Each structure stands twice: as C-alpha cells, then as structure tokens.
Structure 1
Amino acid sequence: MRIELHEITIREVADGYLDNAEEGVVGYGGRLDIRPKYQREFVYDEKKRNAVIDTIRKGFPLNVMYWVITDDGSYEVMDGQQRTISFCQYVNGDFSVPVDGHPMAFHNLPKTLQDQILDYKLMVYFCSGTDVEKLDWFRIINIAGERLTEQELRNAVYTGPWLTHAKSIFSKTNCAAYLLANKYVNGSPIRQEFLQTALSWISDGSIEQYMSAHQHDPNANELWSYFQAVIAWVDLTFTTYRKEMKGLDWGSLYDRFKDGLYDTDKLESQIKALMIDDDVTRKKGIYQYVLTGDEKHLAIRAFTPAMRRAAYERQGGICPKCKKHFEIDQMEADHVTPWSKGGRTNADNCQMLCLEDNRRKGAV
C-alpha cells in the first residue's frame, strides 16, 4: 500500500466543482470524484456544515483526508467527502454562515477573507495499492465522522465499467432494482444496500471475490438477470405477499429450491395456518420452513417453567423412556405429541425426559 501526504488548497479542490445530484459530485478541475454516482447523498446537518467553515475561517486544522488514485490517474474521495462538499458548497454560494452575528455567504465576504478560505491548505493522503491492501486500509481509517458502509468501501476499491452499470441499476433512488423488489429487500439503494444484497445472493456471501472477478466487465447484466430471476421465483412460488417476506435471504432459497415443483395453493394454505399458530414465535421463518421442513426456523414456543414443574411432579421425577429417576435440572421438557403432528405447547402435552433420551429422540 502506497500512501503519500499532499497539501492541496481549497481553491484547487473547488475548481470545477459540480454537483449533479445522484449523478455524482466532482471537483479539482474535474479530476476528483467527490461523491461517486449513486452513492449516499450529502448528510451533514447545518451545525456540522457550519462547523467546517468556521474551522477553516479560523485557520484551525481539519482532519486529514484520503483520496484513492484510480486506474486512469484521477481521484476519488475515500474519507472527507462531507467536509469537502461543505466547503465547496460554501464557496459555490449555496449557503451562508454566521460571521460576527450576521449571515454571510461567500460572495458577501471581503476579498481578503475569501482568499483566506481559498488558500487554506488541506492535508490529503493519496492512496494506491492492491485491492486487498486498499480495502484493509479503508476499513482502518473508516472510524470517525459519517462512516461508510461496507459496500461503499468496496465500491471505492472495485471501480470500473461493471460497477458504474451496477450502480445505475441498484444504487439510485427509484432505480430498477428498488422498483422491482423493495417489498422483499431491506435498506436504501443510496446506501448501497440493494447492491450489497444482490451481490451477496449471487456470490453466496463472497462479495469481494465477485466484484474483483467482474471489475472490468463491460456491464453488470449477469447480476441484474440473476436478481430478476430470484424475485420472479419468489413471486411465482409465494402467491400472497406478507410483510414477513421482506429481508429474507431469498438468494440462497432460490439457489436451493428453484428447480422444485411446488403446489402453490398448498404452500399458501400451509403458510396461512402457520401464521395463526400461537406456537410459532418466528413468523419470518415460515418461508424457510415450508421449503426445508426444518422446525428450527420457526422457534416453536417453549414450555414454561410452571409446565415443566407440573410434568416433573406428575411423573415423580421418572423419565418415561428409561424409567430412571432424575432431578429436574437433569431433565428437559418435550412434546408428548410432536408439534409437527398437531401437538400443542401446553401443560397436557408436556413430558419430562432425561437429557440423554430427549436428545436421542431429537436425533430421530
């Protein structure tokens, strides 16, 4: 990893400053990508923004900033985006700050004060290196201010035509991915959460490896096609939408079960029954359960201490399987009639088994 410290004036950074909203923010004569396309929008509030200008006016030092040197020799702001946008907006005349008790825009200041701001020297580290080195370094410096998400960190490393196309689909307000799947996917496109979800699905969680392999692809059509296929499969398989479907790991379910032939009416009846079953405490797990049959996804309601004690006393401490006596803390509560066969989690259906017999039963 190569890191070089440079002194750069606000005058230089603000030269060519242009804010194209979600199309990105640039400066430094067009060579600095201050906020890449479809990354999060400006988030500093008025108090923080004004504090940046006050710090500069008084000649106090701002924290160091980090710029990434890209493959084409231009730069991207890795750390310092909000501070950079703050002083560029001020120099651009976008807002005023209190000066001696009066609101003053940049153009209202005497030329000597304007020059003082424009000639202020920023301490900027230029960073270059391998993808792994840059990602590790960015995670280390991402400890203060408005922290970047993991996906924003990855985006700073794996720049190229593939990422530009992927962000146009997954990282813009009301983008195609959001319009297609917002009821199934948590988070915000602007914070890169839709892109991260799609990448996690297609790569089985190996996001960095996938981005590295496809960094220089001309487009992200493979990712977009896969994402659409997942959502289409969900829509076709589960015919009634419920809020519990949002945020599930649909990608892994699609990969495992996409080739199965399901009776969708039967699935819906099963889901409906489970939704009103008081013993099912984790409703979001119903969708994994109807596909896998694994009860762990449902978090079946446990027997209460009172139910356990009543069963223990009723049995006289005797395990009905091995017929031996145990203390209550050496036994576990169990359904006489299994929940999967209609047994309820109530006192009448509770029995106490010794640890060995209960675990042997659970393994059957």
Structure 2
Amino acid sequence: MEIKTVSCKREGFEIEELYKMWKDGKIIFNTEYQRSEVWLKPKKQKLIDSILRKYDINKIFFRITKDQIYECLDGQQRLRSIFNFMDGNFPTSNKYTPEIGEILFTDLPEKFKWAIRSYRIDAVAILWADDEVTSDIFLRLQEGVPLNSAERLNAMRGEARNLIAKELSQINFLKICGIKEHRFSHRHLCAQMLLLEVHKVSETQFIDCKYRNLQLMYEKYKNRQVPNRAVSDLKKALNYLEKSLGEKYSRFINKKGDIIAIYLLTSYLLKHYSMLNHEKEYKKFIIDFLKNVRNINTKNTKETQSNKYYYTYKMESRTSADSAASMKKRFEILIKKFLEFCPTIKKKDNQRIFDEYQQLVIYERADGICQNCNKKIILDDSEFDHIISHSKGGHTTIENGQLLCIKCNRRKSNK
C-alpha cells in the first residue's frame, strides 16, 4: 500500500534574493490563494520593524511551476509588504520603530538597509503539484486560521468552481452592486444563486444555501458541466437587474441577503411573467421596497403592526438569511408586494388559473369578502375568477381578478 506524497524542498532566502527574483518575474502572486484583504500601512510597518529587530517571521510557501516560476501560496502579504517597502512606497513607523522614526528604505542608514537585505526567510517549495493538490495544501496551511465559506469553496477544484470563478462572478451587475468583492464574496453569491437554479427553486421548494449544500454542488459538478438551463437563467436574472437598476441604483442593494431574495424574485418573474418593458417599474419597486424595510423601527410596536410585511422581511434577513425557511418567507413577501405594485403584469402562458401569489394578493385586497354576496370567507374556501372572462380575452392578472365564495363562483359559471 502506498500513500501519495508530494515532492518539496526547504530553502532559506535572503530578502535581497527574493526581491531580485520578484523583479525578474521569477516570483508571482496567485490571487486565488490570497485569503484576506490587502494589509494597511500600519501592519506593513510592523512587519518591517520585526525584520529590523531580527524577530522570526513565519515561513513562506511556494509552488514551483514547470517553468521554474515560484508561485506564492502562503505569505503573499508579507512578501508584498517587504517588496513595497523596498520600492519606497511607505516609510518605517515612528510608533513601531521610534529609534529611526519615519524613513523610506532609500534614506535608511546603510546598516539598516543591510539588515533588511540580508534578513533570511525560511521557505518551503512544492514541486510541480497540480491545482487540486495545491488547493488541499493551501487549506491545510490555513488550519487554525478561520476561513469563511467562500474561501473554502474557492479552494476546491472542478467545473462548477471554474464556471463561478471565471465567468459568473464576472457578470457586470455584481461589479456595480453594493456588495464589495472581499474574500471571494461575489463568488459565494454566485454559488448560492447557481444552487438555487440547479434545484429549480422558482416555485415553492427552497433549499438551504449554506456551505454544506454548496460544497455538495461543487463536488457533483467537479468533472461534469453544470446544466446549461441553470447557467442561462442565472445570467438572464442578473442582466435584467443591471438593465433595470443601472449602476446608480444597483449600489443600493448592499446586503447579501437582499441580493439573494431579489435575485429569487427576478428569476421567478422572468420565468413566469412578461417582464419586457417593465424595467422602470421594477426599479421603482425594488428601491421603494428596500427603503421601506430600512425605515422600519423594529422596536416600535405600532409601526411593526402597520407594516408587518416589511417588519417580517427585516427580521428574517437578520437571522439565518441563507436558510430555506428565511428565503421562502422573504420571497413570498417580495412577490406579494410586487404583484400589488404592478397588478397589470401579464403571465407568459395562457393558463387561466391564478397562481398562489396572485390569489393571496386578491384575497387580501378584498379583505376576505366575497365580491358577489359580501360574505366573509377563509382563504381555503376561496375561489378566484376573472372579472373579464378568459374566453373573452381577459388576462390572468391581479387587476382582472376577483374573490368569490365557492357558491357564487359555481352560480356564475353554471357549474
């Protein structure tokens, strides 16, 4: 029995040698393995102080490619900070190194320049590992350092991961929305959207968009293509959002939970309703809805009662927003409010039956009262009929819908 191993070598490099290798293009930084935000100046200055004081710093990990290029897997921020300092991009710190104050590298006394150039950094170089092995090594290097779900997913390999990283996360709406691309947040959003499309979540079934289900999707589509239908529907929804909201109002969506909920609404509407030429209405609805949600004071009892739907949406967004139950609740609120806002919107097909979301809006609009005999009826005993009959060209829209009790509807249609 054999255990698969990787070949690696342990080396020590003086900073001057590493700097020259970088200048010569022999060291490259792969952003796929940069897990945190770019260091701010104080953190960089503290690292330079550690080097000047001859403190030990953690080893660097490289992968050596077949072209003999050193690809940095772990330690990118440390190397970038050192190289930037030597390029004169920031000075030392009076706070961390008060003995010399704020001085650029070129202005340092020679003995301190030499202290930096000759400082030795330990490194491990992995020889010609493929992407999957490299990702596994990267994840193990981060053990003990909390990785978020997006970073763990990004370190996986396969068709789904590549589709999301190289194509879906590059869709322009994500670049102009209010969610910053930080620690692969756009890729994580795309993974959640793709999971919803793969599972055809556009009716009444919902699925948790948590790490485990996303991981299972990545594994399922590791060596085979993601269904074209799911990819196409995802692109259509995001492109429609960009067309409707534009760059200015896309920025207004700045919470991940809102993007997923609004994405679900958009995807559903594009599948079932004629949304062509409704972009302006849709923009107004989205902006007004989010403003109403944000203006809710959850501590004001009277306000929460009069705006129960906005209150419920806001509270559901605060707790487990990527759970199936929370997404379903928020989607139902969004579709209800949109159909109230745009009652003339037409369904794509010629079916005569009002869907469950239209029925709920019609029922609440009538206060649960039969519009023929004026009797109060419960939702389960309600029937929904066209004011102008379907056979005479009446559309299946909320505007053309009415609430009737079973008896009145049977009498009307002579059933």
Q: TM-score range by the shorter chain?
A: 0.5 to 0.7
Provide closer, same or farther for how the CA distance between residues 9 and 341 of structure 1 changes in structure 2, counting only shifts above 3 A: farther
- Which deviations, in whole Å up to 9, do the C-alpha atoms of 1:100-133 show, x marking residues without a partner? 2432221122334323312222122234645554
Q: Give, as a single letter, the amino acid of the residue that structure 1 aligns with 2:308.
A: D
Evaluate the alpha carbon distance shift between residue 28 and residue 140 of structure 1 in structure 2; reply closer, same or farther with a 3 A threshold: farther
Q: In the alignment, what sits opposite 2:191?
A: 199
Which residue of 18, 26, 33 maps to 1:31?
A: 26
1:92 partner amino acid:
D
The answer on 1:13 being equivalent to 2:18 is yes
TM-score normalised by L of structure 2: 0.49
* Contact 1:9 1:118 (8 Å CA) reproduced: yes
- Pairwise mapping of residues 1-364 of structure 1 onto structure 2 (< 5 A)? 2=6, 3-15=8-20, 27=22, 29-34=24-29, 36=31, 43-69=38-64, 73-97=68-92, 98=97, 100-127=99-126, 129=129, 131-143=131-143, 149-152=148-151, 155=154, 166=165, 170=169, 176-179=172-175, 182=177, 187-203=179-195, 204=198, 205-206=214-215, 208-209=218-219, 212-213=222-223, 227-232=234-239, 246-248=258-260, 258-261=270-273, 277-278=307-308, 281-283=311-313, 285-288=329-332, 290=335
In 2, Cα distance between the equivalents of 1:200 and 1:28? 40
Q: What percent identity do the matched residue pairs reach?
A: 16
Consecutive unaligned residues in structure 2, runs of 5 or more:
199-213, 294-305, 318-328, 337-354, 358-376, 383-415
Instruction: Provide, for residues 229-253 of structure 1, a one-character-per-residue CA deviation record: whole Å limited to 9, x for no partner.
Output: 1224568999x99968723256666
Matched letter for residue 65 of structure 1: I
Distance in 1 separating the partners of 2:88 and 2:38: 18
SS of match in other structure, 1:102: coil
Q: Distance in 2 between matches of 1:282 and 1:53?
A: 51
CA contact (8 A) 1:68 1:76 kept: yes
- Distance in 2, Cα, partners of 1:222 & 1:110: 64
Pick the structure with more strand per residue: 1
- Aligned match of 2:387: none
Distance change in 2, residues 1:255/1:209 (3 Å): farther
Partners of 1:288 and 1:88 lie apart in 2 by 53
Q: What is the CA–CA distance in structure 1 between the aligned matches of 2:15 and 2:59, rounded to whole Å?
A: 13
Comparing 32-41 with 43-52, greater Cα deviation is found at 32-41
CA deviations on 1:269-326 (whole Å, 9 max, x unpaired) are xx98x986426742263424548969xxxxxxxxxxxxxxxxxxxxxxxxxxxxxxxx
SS at match of 1:94: coil
Residue 176 of structure 1 aligns with an amino acid whose one-letter code is N
For the 8 Å contact 1:39–1:192, the answer to whether it is kept is no
Give the conservation status (yes or no) of the 8 Å contact 1:237–1:262.
no
Q: Tell me by how many angstroms 1:79 deviates.
A: 2.1
- Shift of the 69–121 alpha-carbon distance from structure 1 to 2, 3 Å rule, reads same
TM-score (norm 1): 0.54
SS at match of 2:272: coil
Deviation (angstroms), 1:257: 7.0
Distance 2:69 2:42 in 1: 31
After TM superposition, give the deviation of residue 62 of structure 1 in Å: 0.3
Distance 2:258 2:229 in 1: 23
Letter matched to residue 272 of structure 2: G
C-alpha displacement of 1:338: 6.8
The SS at the match of 1:8 is: strand
Give the whole-Å Cα distance in 2 for the aligned partners of 1:277 and 1:340.
Answer: 24
User: Do 1:43 and 1:82's aligned partners in 2 also have CA atoms closer than 8 Å?
Assistant: yes
**Matched letter for residue 229 of structure 1:** K
Q: Compared with structure 1, are the counterparts of its residues 232 and 99 closer, same or farther at alpha carbon in structure 2 (3 Å cutoff)?
A: closer
1:52 shift after superposition: 0.9
Deviation of 1:53 after TM superposition, in Å, equals 0.9
Q: Could you tell me which amino acid in structure 1 is paired with residue 84 of structure 2?
A: Q
**In 1, Cα distance between the equivalents of 2:235 and 2:220?**
18
Deviation of residue 258 (structure 1)? 4.9
Rounded to whole Å, the distance in 1 between the matches of 2:47 and 2:229 is 43
Contact 1:64–1:125 (Cα < 8 Å) also in 2: yes
| Matched length | 272
Q: Is the 8 A contact 1:131 1:158 kept in 2?
A: yes
CA contact (8 A) 2:11 2:124 kept: yes
Does the CA contact (< 8 Å) of 2:139 and 2:155 recur in 1?
no
Partners of 2:164 and 2:271 lie apart in 1 by: 29
